[in-house]
Amino acid sequence: MKITASAPGKVILFGEHAVVLGKPAIAVAVDRRVKVTIRKGKETGIINVKIPSLAVQGSINPDQGTIENDGHLKTGILHYIKGALQKTSIKRGMELEVSLDIPIGAGLGSSAAITVATLAAAARFNQQDITKEEIAETCHQVEVEVQGAASPLDTAISTYGGVIYLSKTKITPLQPARDLPLVVGYTPQPGNTGELVEGVGRKRNTYPDIINPILDSIENLTNEAREAIIQGDEKRIGELMNINQGLLDALGVNTWELSRLVYQARQAGALGSKLTGAGGGGSMIAYCPGRTREVLRELKNLENAFQVGISYKGVTYR
């Protein structure tokens, strides 16, 4: 018996970090996915996990909450897998294989996608019915447990796909009037989401009168961007992304490498560009109607870059 579930990665268009502090955000599921396959394994209570593309082999004992082959960034993934497995009522021996075409630690939602696909596959393997709402909610809990703090955004977008506007816990799907031509540029240095989120919280505690208005501005620009996306107002979408980038820089999550890509993308004709996700390394996105090829070429000269499309397929069995 073999069950495969897959879930998309994501980019955040507007509102990362502010969303952890109760502000709205807009995210897009992208056409790059994580696939988790579960096969029957030995009835030892220990689940072997293979991630061939990252040369990771580990084992998880969900009852005891232990992981072997720990302590390396790449194996940080095993914590999310363990968390998802612990939320499943495991009735039989199993082993797990993960394949992914999303770079990890790059702000593109790999950990949420892995958590979502693992929970979906494990539930079905153990003949447990689970709804998308339950998957999104449970996986959000896993992210909180592993990272310390997390908004429901990443796990929601990975579960439902498409383009979503999230305000507090309310998820509203958006229908963009036009396509959203996006190029992702990613730096080799990974960002640690938990630490970056904590850093923003600390800054807010130290400078509440300065940081709170920044968070309010991010809220306002995200709400304005929602209208611009629905209306297909390309110029406004781009401008708002650029403003969001400046405010993320003020929150302390930007890096020199990301800035370089952000400015290079604008020079190559992107209407807007900003870091995406937690920052501190990781990725940026460029919104480039009519200029995708030029932007892609320029970013590839500096770092890794690829084009992404919207995936309207959330978590699915296949």
Residue 26 in contact with ligand MEV, rule: CB under 6 A:
no
Residue 77 in contact with ligand MEV, rule: CB under 6 A:
no
Q: State the nearest-atom distance from the C-beta of 219 to ligand MEV, in Å.
A: 13
Closest CA to 163 of 283, 288, 26: 26
Q: Which stretch binds ligand MEV (CB under 6 A): 146-154, 243-251, 285-293, 298-306?
A: 146-154
Structural tokens at position 46: 């220990």
Half-sphere exposure of 128 (CA within 13 A, CB side): 18
Residue 107 in contact with ligand MEV, rule: CB under 6 A:
yes
Q: What is the DSSP string of 123-152?
A: HHHTT----HHHHHHHHHHHHHHHHS---S
Structural tokens at position 133: 């709402």
The answer to whether 154 is a known catalytic residue is: yes
Residue 154 in contact with ligand MEV, rule: CB under 6 A:
yes
* Residue 18 vs 47, nearer CB to ligand MEV: 18
Q: State the nearest-atom distance from the C-beta of 113 to ligand MEV, in Å.
A: 11
Active-site residue (options: 154, 179, 209, 249): 154
Residue 51 in contact with ligand MEV, rule: CB under 6 A:
no
Q: Are 233 and 3 in contact (CB under 8 A)?
A: no
Phi, psi of 14 (to 5 degrees): -150, 140
Closest CA to 122 of 109, 110, 111, 135: 135
* Residue 181 vs 279, nearer CB to ligand MEV: 279
Structural tokens at position 45: 């209570």
Q: Which of 51, 104, 121, 197 binds ligand MEV (CB under 6 A)?
A: 197
* Residue 15 vs 58, nearer CB to ligand MEV: 15
Q: Are 221 and 229 in contact (CB under 8 A)?
A: no
Residue type for position 206: T
Site string (200-219) toward ligand MEV, x via CB under 6 A: --------------------
Closest CA to 59 of 90, 82, 89, 34: 82
Residue 105 in contact with ligand MEV, rule: CB under 6 A:
no
Q: Which stretch binds ligand MEV (CB under 6 A): 121-129, 150-158, 217-225, 258-266?
A: 150-158
The number of beta carbons lying within 10 Å of the beta carbon of residue 286 is 32
Q: State the nearest-atom distance from the C-beta of 25 to ligand MEV, in Å.
A: 7
Residue 278 in contact with ligand MEV, rule: CB under 6 A:
yes
How far apart CA 226 and CA 217 sit, in angstroms, is 14
* Residue 19 vs 229, nearer CB to ligand MEV: 19
Structural tokens at position 19: 């969303």
Residue 135 in contact with ligand MEV, rule: CB under 6 A:
no
Query: Catalytic site residues?
Result: 154
**By the criterion CB under 6 A, which residues form the site for ligand MEV?**
12, 16-17, 19-20, 107, 150-151, 153-154, 193, 197, 277-278
